[in-house]
Amino acid sequence: DADPTTQGRTQTLERTQTQRPRLYRVLLLNDDYTPMDFVVMVLERHFRKSEQEAQLIMLAVHHKGQGVAGVYTRDVAETKVAQVTAEARQHGYPLRLVAEPEA
Ligand code: TYC
């Protein structure tokens, strides 16, 4: 480079802290047709919620329109969206999920 202090040499800077990856929320969206039991099962199996937690999240989504199923790195969040969407379609349910970056 043209910087006179490095005289064309490449400089490497040390950083003590490791960068943390950006995290993504997996949002569960309400619809009129997906059975409540199926949504609870999804939250238990794919998002590792207890039955009680799963019931609370499902009901919150049912009443408010959407809610957070879990928070993950981008790859994991997108994989969960794809897997759960595929499983819902196999059952003929219109369940929708989306991954969105935190803050
Ligand atoms: N609203 C659906 C019903 O009454 C239940 C439901 C809850 C669907 C949450 C989707 O993400 C959802 N059967």
Q: What DSSP state is assigned to residue 32?
A: S
Q: Which pLDDT belongs to residue 5?
A: 61
**DSSP helix, strand, coil percent of the chain (3-state; round to 5):** 40, 20, 40
For residue 46, report the phi and psi dihedrals to the nearest 5 degrees: -95, -25
- Report how far ligand 1's centroid is from the alpha carbon of 70 (Å): 17
Atom 2 of ligand 1, nearest CA residue: 32
pLDDT tens for the chain, 103 residues: list them: 455 566 777 888 888 888 999 999 999 999 999 999 999 999 999 999 999 999 999 999 999 999 999 999 999 999 999 999 999 999 999 999 999 999 7
Is 74 within 8 Å of 24 (Cβ atoms)? Answer: yes
Spatial CB neighbours of 19, under 8 Å, sequence gap ≥ 6: none
Give residue 5 CA to ligand 1 midpoint distance, Å.
63
CA atoms within 13 A on the CB side of 61: 26
Q: Whose CA is closest to atom 12 on ligand 1?
A: 30
What is the pLDDT at residue 3?
56
